[in-house]
Structure 1
Amino acid sequence: MLRFLASSIGVTCAAALALPLAAPAAAGSAAPPTTGRTAQAEAYASGSTQSLPLVPLAGDRGPGEQGVSRRDVRHFSLVGVVWDDPDAELHGRVQVRTRATATGTWSGWQELETHNADHAADPGTPESTSVRVRGATAPLWVGESDGVEVRVRAEGAAGARAQSDDGAGSAAPATSPLPTGLRLELVNPGEDIPRAGDATEIPALSSAETERELLALGTGALTEQQKAKPHIGPRPSIVTRRGWGANEKLREKKFVYTKKVKVAFVHHSATGNNYRCSQAPSVIRSIYRYHVKSMGWRDIGYNFVVDKCGKIYEGRAGGVAKPVLGAHTLGFNSNSMGIAVLGTYGSKKPSSAAVKAIARLTAWKLGLHGMNPRGKTYLKSGGGNLYRKGKKVRLNVISGHRDGFATSCPGRKLYGKLGTARKTAAKYQGR
């Protein structure tokens, strides 16, 4: 018998270790419209997004420069830039500075990662071809702010030069125009509002308990060989979507599944490292809102998220033990899962707690599908800039995002720790 019950509203995954999640309960009678301070308070509680069009800057030095002049805005904590065509690339630099609400001081200029198209649904899928999908930079967590200024300079404009996470410049045509429809997205994650009776965390189980539960549920996840000698790591504690405060009204209601999970792709969120672990739920809510409302995806792209203190969070809805189709590794979302470590790890080392969490999570989830974390397997490419569509590619069972797509993600410092994660995950599986 399942130990946990799903909440009657929204989607938790406490009861979804092997069963489809229940749809959110129907909404009750509509509340009367609110205005003024009450409306602002409610928007802050539930989260909101401000969208400001970019315009040519006063005194700019050419058509390749757009931005938003320094101004007061409603409270926000995460910032990104989006544009109309999801297939268009932004060759250049995007810089932002913000004013902290608490102190009134302005930050220095901060860079946004412009090459974000590699985190996306596979080409030709319904999610990727939706009219709502837009191109976007990676989002940046800046903390609670109430002022903003942004400038976007095309490659070649004012000496701009795109930078990799290693600090090396990447060449692009000097005449590349900026994408059309550039807009600044300011995301307010809303407040943490715990509700009595909601399941906010899926507790850990031992390997034996995990095996017994799967067998009792009849998921078919264990083959005859696995039943004789299972290699499934202990299920780690996982904070549910309800636990981090997901607004289930934002995402699409239906769930989409792939056949199994053969590969775990590790990412960094590229949102910066200036967050406290207590703020991780707010960061995740911000990314979720950015992915859905700003970029036009059906849900948050990652299947799981890990913070720098090693806490694991449920990502895309549909059941933590199920093979939920994500939008994390363009061309390789089928038969895989995506794990994002909150932060930017080009020059910053990931914490040992985060690397251990990757190992614990993959030992369990890959074990459910009979995969050895230290092994290799094949995935068929859905199309990308490294492998043509239809090509069978041999990959590590625990791979970095850059193994499936030409990208700096998950940052060279985190990528360098994947060997440790593979070794530790195999130990958790008893190999």
Structure 2
Amino acid sequence: MRGFPASSIGVTCAAALALPLAPPAAAATSSSTPPSSTPPSSTPPSSTPPSSAPPTAGAGPRSGAYVPGSTRSLPLAHLARDRAPGAAEQGLTRRDVRPFSLVGVVWDRPTAALHGRVEVRTRAAATGIWSGWKELETHNADHAADPGTRESTSGGVRGATAPLWAGESDGVEVRVRSEKATGADRSAPAAARLPTGLRLELVDPGKGVPPGTGRARTGAARSVPAGRKAKPHVGARPGIITRRGWGADETLREKGAVYTKRVKTAFVHHSDTGNDYTCSQAPSVIRGIYRYHVGSMGWRDLGYSFLVDKCGKIYEGRAGGVSKPVLGAHTRGFNSNSTGIAVLGTYSAKEPSSAALKAIARLTAWKVGRYGMNPRGKTYLKSGGGNLYPKGRKVRLNVISGHRDGFATGCPGERLYDRLGSVRSKAGKYQGR
């Protein structure tokens, strides 16, 4: 989901989605430990002892008590440190916090671009070792509902970085620094170019919803077995782990689902959450992304239609039925009549696994085949508005496209994008073509 800076600067990304059942975490802060204005230590992370302050008490957005499976939202403060003249910098100094596994930064207005650099480092709960600084992707508005739709005009939607999977952690430090903008923004002072309301989101994905509890609407807590071809040129349905299977808390999202007419295109993404996860952690990663999309960004549900881990397991994304044309929020401008498949990880420089590529091929052979589409072919979609194509333009796209084909972005990463040709070929074979 890495955007091209030159393209992203001019985009007013009215990112998506109708109000969730509960207010986003950023709207209510757990503030048992206020941000510090003291400069962080310059000692390297590996040799710096953890903060002597007690762990912060509030993991949930409303309560001061730690709640597994919740989000803690902390406002960023101006940092007093040497910096370039006129530069703006906000962050949080190194501190102990309650356990979390996924981290991101949000701000008030989804149309406000963050012209700058966002970096975090975290402390592993198991070892007490601090990571190095890791950069969060700031150009993240390419994943959103189409402009002008009910979903995109919700007052609860926020701007946000891509989330980063850190693994179970109990310490964090963050810094956000403005950079010189280009084009129409050049005359604005640097300090004004950091969006208002910057907050750090610390997501604890929890353990999931035990089978037999919660409101799983789309099946049992197991993979759906593959079946025979329903008719010519429809691939066999692959095993799909349902929302209950990965532990979705159905009380978080908005009720119901919105549908389009059909599925003509499958857009392939990477989650850009990093590659430091094991396959057994994939459900936790997805729960973290789900909470971030709904609770932190203000979306109505998880944005992707499906997710695939590096071991080739396929997971149901947005609720509404895996076989139905559910309207997602994965490709701004082209969500109608399409489906979005996100491979967990970052594939700008790392090669995707053969298992993940095979899973994409099997999934698309079945999903687009249900609507008579040839995964080796091309089709037309009408743009809902974006930074590549104006609203209303009919655009010729591959039936299996990369996110960047519909929006100026680096997603799904150069390495994954380069493999889509082989995915199309495999998917065609799975359809018997």
* TM-score by shorter chain over 0.5: yes
Other-structure match for 2:306: 304
Counterpart of 2:320 in structure 1 is 318
After alignment, is 194-203 or 275-284 more displaced?
A: 194-203
* C-alpha contact (below 8 Å) 2:58/2:72 kept by paired residues: no
Pair 1:128-2:128 in alignment? no
* Map of 1:195 onto structure 2: 211
- Secondary structure of the residue aligned to 2:281 is helix
Aligned residue for 1:95, secondary structure, equals: strand
Quote the residue 1:334 is aligned against: 336
What letter is aligned with 2:111? D
1:49 aligns with 2:51: no
The percentage of aligned residue pairs carrying the same residue is 74
CA distance in 2, matches of 1:295, 1:370: 35
| 1:210-229 alignment, distance < 5 Å | 211=230
Contact 2:209 2:244 in 1 (8 A): no
Q: 1:245 to 1:42 in 2, by over 3 A?
A: farther
The SS at the match of 2:415 is helix
AA at the equivalent of 1:125: T
2:111 counterpart residue number: 87
The equivalences for 1:88-127 within 5 A come to 88-127=112-151
Deviation at residue 205 of structure 1 after TM alignment: 2.9
- The answer to whether the Cα contact below 8 Å between 2:388 and 2:408 also exists between their aligned partners in 1 is yes
Q: Distance in 1 between matches of 2:301 and 2:151?
A: 10
C-alpha separation between the residues in 1 aligned to 2:65 and 2:364? 40
Which runs of 5 or more structure 1 residues have no equivalent in the other structure?
1-34, 163-169, 212-226
Structure 2 unaligned runs (5+)?
1-56, 214-218
In structure 2, do the counterparts of structure 1 residues 145 and 376 end up closer, same or farther at CA, with 3 Å as the change threshold?
A: same
1:180 equivalent to 2:180? Answer no
1:69-80 equivalences under 5 Å are 69-80=93-104
Instruction: Work out which of the residue numbers 416, 422, 425 in structure 2 matches 1:423.
Output: 425
RMSD of equivalent CA atoms: 2.3
**1:67 matched to 2:83:** no
Q: Shift of the alpha carbon at 1:200? A: 1.4
Q: What is the letter of the counterpart of residue 200 of structure 1?
A: A
Taking the aligned partners of 1:36 and 1:364, their CA distance within structure 2 comes to 44
**Which residue in the other structure is 2:54 paired with?**
none
**1:69 CA drift (Å):** 1.0
TM (norm. structure 2) is: 0.80
- What's the offset of the Cα at 1:97? 0.4
CA distance in 2, matches of 1:306, 1:36: 32
Count residues in correspondence.
364
Distance 1:241 1:205 in 2: 18
Query: Is 1:207 matched with 2:228?
Result: yes
Report the residue type matching 1:181 in the other structure: G
| Contact 1:207 1:232 (8 Å CA) reproduced | no
Cα distance in 2, alignment partners of residues 130 and 196 from structure 1: 33
CA separation of 1:416 and 1:89: change in aligned 2, threshold 3 A:
same
Question: Which amino acid in 1 is paired with 2:266?
Answer: A
Q: Secondary structure at the match of 2:294?
A: helix
Q: CA deviation at 1:359?
A: 0.1
Q: Distance in 2 between matches of 1:138 and 1:193?
A: 25
CA 1:294–1:392: 2 relative to 1, 3 Å: same
Q: TM-score, normalised by structure 1?
A: 0.81
**CA separation in 1, counterparts of 2:135 and 2:177?**
12
Query: What's the CA shift for 1:207?
Result: 3.2
Cα distance in 2, alignment partners of residues 98 and 268 from structure 1: 22
Contact 1:91 1:172 in 2 (8 A): no
Deviation at 1:92, TM superposition (A): 1.1
**1:171 Cα deviation after fit:** 12
Q: CA deviation at 1:384?
A: 0.3
Q: Secondary structure at the match of 1:50?
A: strand
Q: Aligned to 2:368, what secondary structure does the other structure show?
A: helix
> Residue 332 of structure 1 aligns to which amino acid in structure 2?
F
- One-letter amino acid of the structure 2 residue matched with residue 186 of structure 1: L
Name the structure 1 match of 2:275: 273
- d(CA) in 2 for partners of 1:206, 1:244: 22
Candidates 386, 398, 407, aligned match of 1:396: 398
2-side partners of 1:97 and 1:428: how far apart? 43
Q: Distance in 2 between matches of 1:60 and 1:42?
A: 35
Letter in 1 for 2:145: A
Q: Is 2:211–2:221's contact at 8 Å kept on the other side of the alignment?
A: no
Whether the 8 Å CA contact 1:78–1:286 is kept in 2: the answer is yes
After superposition, give the CA deviation of every residue in 1:273-319 in whole Å (9 maximum; x if it has no partner). Answer: 00000000000000000000000000000000000000000000000
Instruction: Tell me the CA shift for residue 201 of structure 1.
Output: 2.5
Matches of 2:432 and 2:332 in 1, distance apart?
32
Q: In the alignment, is the contact (CA less than 8 A) between 2:106 and 2:296 conserved in 1? A: yes
Question: 2: CA distance between counterparts of 1:135 and 1:334?
Answer: 22
